[in-house]
Chain A
Amino acid sequence: MNRYPLWKNLLLLAVVLVGLLLALPNVFSQDPSIEVTAARGGEVNEASAGEIKAALEGAQVPFKAIEPAQGGKLLVRFKASGDQLRGQEVIEGSLSERYNGAMTLSPDLPGWLRALGVRPMFLGLDLRGGIHVLIDVDMDAAVAQTRERYTNDIRTLLRKEKVRYLSVGTDAGRIVIKFPDSDSRDKGRELIGDEMRTLVLSAEGEGEGATLLAVMAPAEVQQTQTFALEQNITTLRNRVNALGVAEPIIQRQGDRRIVVQLPGAQDPARIKEILGATATLEYRLVDTEHSVQDAVDGRVPPGSKLYKERNGAPVLLSRRVIVTGNQITDAAAGFDSRNGQPMVTVALDEQGGRRMREVTTENVSKPMAVVFIENRTVTSRGPNGEVVKRQELSEEVISIANILEPFGRRFQTTGLDSPEEAHNLALLLRAGALAAPIQIIEERTIGPSLGQDNIDQGFRAVLIGFAAVAVFMIFYYGVFGVIADLTLMVNVLLLLAILGLLQATLTLPGIAGILLTVGMAVDANVLIFERIREELRNGSSPQASIQAGFEKALSTILDANITTLIAGVVLFSFGTGPVKGFAVTLSIGILTSVFTAMLISRAMVNLIYGGRRLSKLSI
């Protein structure tokens, strides 16, 4: 009686061993490291390793090892995160032409374990440090931009087809087109209806007040919004990748929000600036035919626009743009070889390149200007002395130079203030523009030392809690207490294994969830043991008591745990970040605790007591 067949014991043993293997990586410490990839199409190899080694040694930055990693990368391991930071500076500084470095944590696993591909749990930002931002995308602005494009298109269309109109404007989300008479309006309506099928048109007024109202169809509004969100996600991803953060998470949340998580990132001010920035370049010809002074006095010629240089001097530029930032496909920061000034090397796409060549060929020896456009925040003091900040579009001419010869697709732009500005501008040009303005509505930054404190304190609490429970169980239940403790260990082992396998994120509340699971996993054992004691008291034989105890406790254990599971699942679907981590460990912990209490604990009881005559149990 009370014996498991051999296959069942072996199966359970296999489960425990696999669990042990999967949980093993968590035991090893994680090194602060830098993932080095080659910049722009190059590759990393033995020579690169030597080069990085030399650079780090030159800067006296101690490191543990340089080793090849998956996906054609090199991994540089450090002992301390301070060394890692300095290492990153070295790579960003002297080697940035050829390599990109991304800071990460990588487990210091022995070779055979790494070969098996098992990984430790994914640590949440509150444990490893990093930056979490929630970004709100201004959907109204995205729709307004599309509406604006429509008004331009309508104007062009009416002019081309020679339909007379008084004005095209927008009002309260509608495009309002005013006509001099009903006839023109009807003609206009037919034209617009044919050309722009997505607009919903309605007429208003007759004769001199004849007006046509156009609104975007709901389906198109939605499409515009989806596109803006997706485009922004792509742009943000590009920008984040360029920032050098390993394993970034960029996810859509709901209809209009984007979550960006950057593990290990440490400079929130710079990261927020890069994420929200809108810097771009425009190339325009300088208007040399009209007087700048006249324009300053208010008589700006119709084909031109007045700009200012960085030193404040006014300059008149042609309204027609040669190329805009959208046509830039690549950009890199560097220094001008002649005068050592910071510069950005820019490459254009097919269309932009062709246009640049045409315009520069026609205008050799005439001056061309580069306009630096930035949506910057301006700080000033309000009337009551409070700090006031507002967004302001600044357009500055950063360089004017005579065109010496026709430009190709690749050329240089100078006139930037500092190497940092050149670096940021190149990054933003490479990543592309944002399709709609964004606003950061939530930020959570955890410094690396706090993350480590959280891990240390969390695990100390788990160890102490576990030990206290373990001692109590042995004291209270004897041999069965030892069985409960072993079961508990297997339970935590399996929980860690599954968390690692799912690559679920472990957070500080998640550690609390593990601890709570320990407390509750004991419950299943207590239920069984109390049942066995009851059966014994009622005069059943020890073997029959074991049998009945496990069987009768089952439905209670299931009922009690399913209700907790319901709360866990609700918590998971509602929670964000750390709270989700708690829900994950709690829910998985419930499943593993039911499994271990019913099968592992039973197997151990069977091995110890099964199949022999007993006069008493140590319970």
Chain B
Amino acid sequence: MELFRKTNIPFMRLKWQAIILSTAINLLGIGSFLFLGLNLGLDFTGGTLIELGYQEQVELNSVRAALEAEGFGGATVQNFGSARDVLIRLQPKGDTDPAALSDRVYQTLSQAAGGQVELRRVEFVGPQVGKDLTEQAGLAILYSLIGILIYVAVRFEYRYAVGAVIATIHDVIVTVAVFSLFQIEFDLTVLAAVLAVIGYSLNDTIVIYDRIRENFRKVRKGTPEEIVNLSVNETLSRTVITSGTTFITVLALYLFGGAVINGFALALLVGIAVGTYSSIYVASAAALMLGISRADMMPVKKEGEVLDGLP
């Protein structure tokens, strides 16, 4: 079976529309980030999270009342996964020893429910740890971008590298924007997913770039725009199939992987979709507009041949 047999879609004819669309979405994303902010998870804000498993379905209000009575005001209480699982979030305040907060909450609720409560999960993150993590998270994204920029610049040419990095930043912004717009919790695993999106989005971009380079050398006629169009068309089948299969696997993760991994899977789903679009309309279009040409590929040709000759 073949879905795309010798397509010849003039992708680059729509490059301006694509750029306007991308810019608009990105501005929306940045705006949302600035005005709504991110619903940062415990990993970054610090605080205490307790997940309890009750034997039977439990009234959240009774849990709240039990907490209120013991002086744990301001706790967020919600169901998690099922009606028997309850998630409680608390912010440390005052002089209380934050590390022992979870023990006291568990004790209180366990007594209130006659000992029929199972402690499923405790996460406590001190404020200093959260601050460190936020800083490291930013650095991690920065380092991967720099690493990729250098690699692509060496393997191809700087215009391609800039295009790839613009596309990657585009994907990161869109993915983060979804979390900001819908105020979905952004925790450490989501951050890991964003970093994986960087890798994935690039994977797609590189495959198209590889073909552009090859076609510049092979096809002697045609404007750069025609070459880019040809390359995108030639790789279209692969792009769609790979994105499709990866999307399916991550969808399985999203649907069946459990509540803990939901945010992570969602970030990947968004990232894969956006990454596929951006490798065509952002990375290739940006490289094209930065003025890639046949001549640029000449100095790199020697190195390319050496690598092509590997077993």
**A567–B252 contact, CB under 8 A?**
no
A474 to chain B, nearest CB (A): 10
B56 to chain A, nearest CB (A): 15
Complex CA distance for A456 and B234, rounded to whole angstroms = 41
Given contacts A441-B128, A563-B203, A568-B199, contact A386 B93 (CB under 8 A): yes
Given contacts A447-B119, A533-B2, A564-B200, contact A515 B249 (CB under 8 A): yes
**A508–B260 contact, CB under 8 A?**
yes
B53-76 vs A: 1/0 string, CB under 8 Å? 100000000000000000100000
Contact of A445 with B by CB under 8 A: yes
A16-51 vs B: 1/0 string, CB under 8 Å? 000000000000000000000000000000000000
**A457–B257 contact, CB under 8 A?**
yes
B1 to chain A, nearest CB (A): 5
| Chain B 190-209 residues near chain A, CB threshold 8 A | 191-192, 195-196, 198-200, 202-204, 206-207, 209
Closest to B241 in A: A526
**A509–B242 contact, CB under 8 A?**
no
Closest to B188 in A: A579
Complex CA distance for A571 and B241, rounded to whole angstroms = 27
Contact of A465 with B by CB under 8 A: yes
**B71–A386 contact, CB under 8 A?**
yes
Chain A interface helix/strand/loop/mixed: helix
Complex CA distance for A554 and B304, rounded to whole angstroms = 12
Closest to B150 in A: A566
B217 to chain A, nearest CB (A): 12
**A509–B261 contact, CB under 8 A?**
yes
Contact of B123 among A443, A523, A579 (CB under 8 A): A443
Contact of A491 with B by CB under 8 A: no
**B95–A586 contact, CB under 8 A?**
no
A188 to chain B, nearest CB (A): 41
| B: number of interface residues (CB 8 Å) | 86
**B264–A509 contact, CB under 8 A?**
yes
Given contacts A453-B258, A461-B253, contact A272 B99 (CB under 8 A): yes
A505 to chain B, nearest CB (A): 15
Residue among A440, A476, A518, A566 with most chain B CB within 10 A? A566
**A449–B120 contact, CB under 8 A?**
yes
B149 to chain A, nearest CB (A): 10
B158 to chain A, nearest CB (A): 16
Contact of A446 with B by CB under 8 A: yes
A41 to chain B, nearest CB (A): 35
Contact of B189 with A by CB under 8 A: yes
Complex CA distance for A616 and B76, rounded to whole angstroms = 64
CB-CB under 8 A from B51, the residues of chain A are: 450
Closest to A377 in B: B97
B182 to chain A, nearest CB (A): 21
CB-CB under 8 A from A567, the residues of chain B are: 144, 147-148, 195-196, 198-199, 202
Closest to A556 in B: B210
| Chain A 403-462 residues near chain B, CB threshold 8 A | 439-447, 449-450, 453-454, 457-458, 460-462
CB-CB under 8 A from B302, the residues of chain A are: none
Given contacts A468-B248, A469-B249, A476-B241, contact A388 B95 (CB under 8 A): yes
One of B18-26, B135-143, B284-292 at the interface: B135-143
Residue among A134, A382, A450, A578 with most chain B CB within 10 A? A450
CB-CB under 8 A from B148, the residues of chain A are: 563, 566-567
Contact of B122 with A by CB under 8 A: yes
Complex CA distance for A337 and B221, rounded to whole angstroms = 101
B19 to chain A, nearest CB (A): 24
| Chain B 125-139 residues near chain A, CB threshold 8 A | 125-126, 128-129, 136-137, 139
| Chain B 240-285 residues near chain A, CB threshold 8 A | 241-242, 244-253, 255-258, 260-261, 264-265, 268
CB-CB under 8 A from B100, the residues of chain A are: 269, 272, 377, 389
CB-CB under 8 A from A388, the residues of chain B are: 94-96
Complex CA distance for A570 and B136, rounded to whole angstroms = 11
Contact of A560 among B122, B137, B206 (CB under 8 A): B206
Contact of B307 with A by CB under 8 A: yes
Complex CA distance for A530 and B200, rounded to whole angstroms = 19
Closest to B156 in A: A559
Contact of B207 among A473, A527, A575 (CB under 8 A): A527
Contact of B152 with A by CB under 8 A: yes
**B192–A575 contact, CB under 8 A?**
yes
**B249–A537 contact, CB under 8 A?**
no
Complex CA distance for A567 and B194, rounded to whole angstroms = 10
Closest to B143 in A: A570
Closest to B97 in A: A389
**A519–B245 contact, CB under 8 A?**
yes
CB-CB under 8 A from B99, the residues of chain A are: 272, 276, 439-441, 443
Contact of B126 among A441, A568, A570 (CB under 8 A): A441
**A563–B121 contact, CB under 8 A?**
no
B25 to chain A, nearest CB (A): 23
Given contacts A566-B148, A571-B140, contact A465 B253 (CB under 8 A): yes
**B256–A461 contact, CB under 8 A?**
yes
| Interface magnitude class on chain A | 35 or more
Complex CA distance for A473 and B249, rounded to whole angstroms = 13
Contact of A322 with B by CB under 8 A: no
| Chain A 342-400 residues near chain B, CB threshold 8 A | 377, 382, 385-390
**B94–A472 contact, CB under 8 A?**
no
B232 to chain A, nearest CB (A): 13
Contact of A558 with B by CB under 8 A: yes
Closest to B211 in A: A556
Complex CA distance for A561 and B238, rounded to whole angstroms = 15
| Chain A 92-125 residues near chain B, CB threshold 8 A | none
**A469–B245 contact, CB under 8 A?**
yes
CB-CB under 8 A from B53, the residues of chain A are: 447, 449-450
| Chain B 73-121 residues near chain A, CB threshold 8 A | 93-97, 99-100, 102-104, 106-107, 118-121
Complex CA distance for A136 and B127, rounded to whole angstroms = 12
Contact of A206 with B by CB under 8 A: no
**B249–A516 contact, CB under 8 A?**
yes
CB-CB under 8 A from B139, the residues of chain A are: 574
**B126–A457 contact, CB under 8 A?**
no
Contact of A242 with B by CB under 8 A: no
Contact of A475 with B by CB under 8 A: yes
**B189–A560 contact, CB under 8 A?**
no
B1-28 vs A: 1/0 string, CB under 8 Å? 1100010000000000000000000000
Contact of B199 among A462, A534, A554, A566 (CB under 8 A): A566
Residue among A382, A444, A522, A567 with most chain B CB within 10 A? A567
Complex CA distance for A440 and B206, rounded to whole angstroms = 45
Given contacts A457-B256, A567-B198, A570-B140, contact A530 B237 (CB under 8 A): yes
**B264–A444 contact, CB under 8 A?**
no
**A554–B238 contact, CB under 8 A?**
no
**A522–B246 contact, CB under 8 A?**
yes
Complex CA distance for A454 and B121, rounded to whole angstroms = 12
Contact of B310 with A by CB under 8 A: yes
CB-CB under 8 A from A441, the residues of chain B are: 99, 125-126, 128-129
Complex CA distance for A404 and B73, rounded to whole angstroms = 57
Given contacts A443-B122, A453-B258, A512-B265, contact A519 B151 (CB under 8 A): no
B68 to chain A, nearest CB (A): 12
Contact of A520 with B by CB under 8 A: yes
**B250–A519 contact, CB under 8 A?**
yes
- Ordered by A's residue number, 9 sampled pairs between the chains whose C-beta atoms are within 8 Å are A377-B97, A382-B95, A387-B96, A511-B257, A523-B203, A523-B246, A562-B151, A571-B196, A574-B143
Smallest CB-CB A-B distances: 3 pairs = A519-B246, A567-B199, A465-B252
Since A450-B120, A533-B2, A563-B203 are in contact, a sample of 7 more A-B pairs with Cβ atoms closer than 8 Å, ordered by chain A residue number, is: A461-B253, A468-B248, A509-B264, A559-B209, A566-B199, A568-B199, A571-B192
